[in-house]
Amino acid sequence: MSSENTFNTEDRSMVPFFIKQKISIERGEGVYAWDEEGGQYLDFTSGWGVTCIGHANPVIAEALAEQSGKIIQNPNSGLTYSPARAKLLDLLGRVLPKNLTRVFFASSGAEANDAAIKLARKVTGRLDIISTHQSFHGRTISTASATGQASHREKFNPLMPNNLFVKFGDLTDLEKALTKDAAAFILEPIQGEGGVIVPSGKYLNDAAALCHRNGTLMIIDEIQTGFCRTGPMFVTGSIGLEADILTMAKGIAGGFPFGAFAMTEEVAAKIDIGDHGGTYCGNPLGCAVSHAVINYLVTNNVSENVERVGKFAIETMNGWQDQFPELITDVRGKGLLLLIEFRDDATAGRISSKCLEKRLFVRQTQGNGIRIFPALNITGDEMAEGLNIIREAITETAG
């Protein structure tokens, strides 16, 4: 096939949910990807925060080959035991916050959040789900209902009832919503899709205390921030946050569709046989890949790389803000979840298009932002290569 054939087939046959970039990606390696004609691109999106250990990392290929040569899906699915699953559970037990001792699996982030919301209602016997304005929790009906961005909700009415929204970072607003009907407060520890909004650690810990006092479960959505994206394995563990449920996906298996949620013994004790399940939940193939990815993150001290390369990137971008104050209104983020905010949507659009012309993928976010979230094992030189392209694009736009 050529790119042209691929464009024609996809455009003719797919449900058109996206305005697509006319690039047909055939393969990748590390932070690079190649189109069908061999054109090379630098990927600062890691497939939307997913390919945390780079494209085509051999440890994933090896885990896939080894496990698929043994078994992909167990007889009777989750009703039988799996050594691949047990191995992953052991490793997760070592990296998860200590109070979150019980784990179950999913195939995506939305599915993990959907389960967390459903189970919070069951466990508390309450109905209200509180979430934050600008949040993103997924595209199923329950997770879209809990998503604080109207564009993801308003076309699908009636949504799930009993969803309330509070201002991210505002404890007074949260306190008002914490009635005796509040089953759960779901939030991202750093809002990703909402524009890389970093709250204070104090806000998150104080919010947990308020929730616990009210008998409301705190669900921390680490689907974008987990697995070293911001430096530490989880934001939750790094600030000693006492979540009741933590949801995971994206980086958990480096691009293989997989997710999970972890909970405390107290929450798990209120769950009964039959409350949840799913054909692929904890499928041995997904578990083997996830184990390979998390093991790579731990043994290669990827967390340290994220801190170092992230610091270099944010310092460089802060310099641009001083140089182009008429274009850049903010630079923010943590680790390798970063955003440059421009004066308006058109400027961010122009700069991201220029980056793509120069063969760098970035993600325009919330209109006026450009989000940078590359593979977490990116080298300093690769980061510098991409930053040079963005600076060129900004300079051309300023001129």
Residues found near ligand PLP in the complex (CB under 6 A): 108-110, 113, 136-138, 188, 192-193, 221, 223-224, 249
> Considering the complex, what minimum distance in angstroms separates the CB of residue 344 from ligand PLP?
24
Nearer to ligand PLP, 221 or 244 (CB): 221
Using the minimum distance from each CB to ligand PLP, give the nearer residue, 35 or 259.
259
Distance of closest approach, residue 138 Cβ to ligand PLP, in angstroms = 4
Taking the least distance from each CB to ligand PLP, the nearer of 228 and 328 is 228
Tokens read off for 391? 């600076």
Tell me how far, at minimum, the Cβ of 222 lies from ligand PLP, in Å.
8
CA proximity to 288, closest of 323, 240, 253, 317:
253
Residue nearest ligand PLP, CB atom distance:
109
Measured from the CB atom, the residue of 137 and 354 that comes closer to ligand PLP is 137
Shortest Å, Cβ 197 to ligand PLP: 12
Q: Smallest distance from the beta carbon of 382 to ligand PLP, in angstroms?
A: 23
Nearer Cβ to ligand PLP, position 156 or 325? Answer: 156
For the chain, how far is it from start to end, CA to CA, in angstroms? 40
The residue among 35 and 188 lying less far from ligand PLP, judged by its C-beta, is 188
Among the listed residues 207, 206, 202, 238, the one whose alpha carbon sits nearest the alpha carbon of residue 222: 238
Q: Is the dihedral of CA 389, 254, 246, 291 positive or negative?
A: negative
CB of 254 to ligand PLP, least distance (A): 13
Crossing angle of helices 380-398/302-323, nearest 10°? Answer: 20
Residue 253 CA to residue 191 CA, distance in Å, equals 21
H-type alpha helices, 215-344: 235-238, 265-268, 284-299, 302-323
Q: Closest CB to ligand PLP among 137 and 334?
A: 137
- For residue 194, the minimal CB distance to ligand PLP (Å) is 9
| Single-letter code of the amino acid located at 340 | I
C-alpha distances in angstroms, 69 versus 63, 64, 225, 296?
10, 8, 32, 21
Could you tell me which residues come within 8 angstroms of residue 10 by beta carbon, excluding any fewer than 6 positions away? 20
Hey, CA dihedral for 172, 113, 232, 47, is it positive or negative? negative
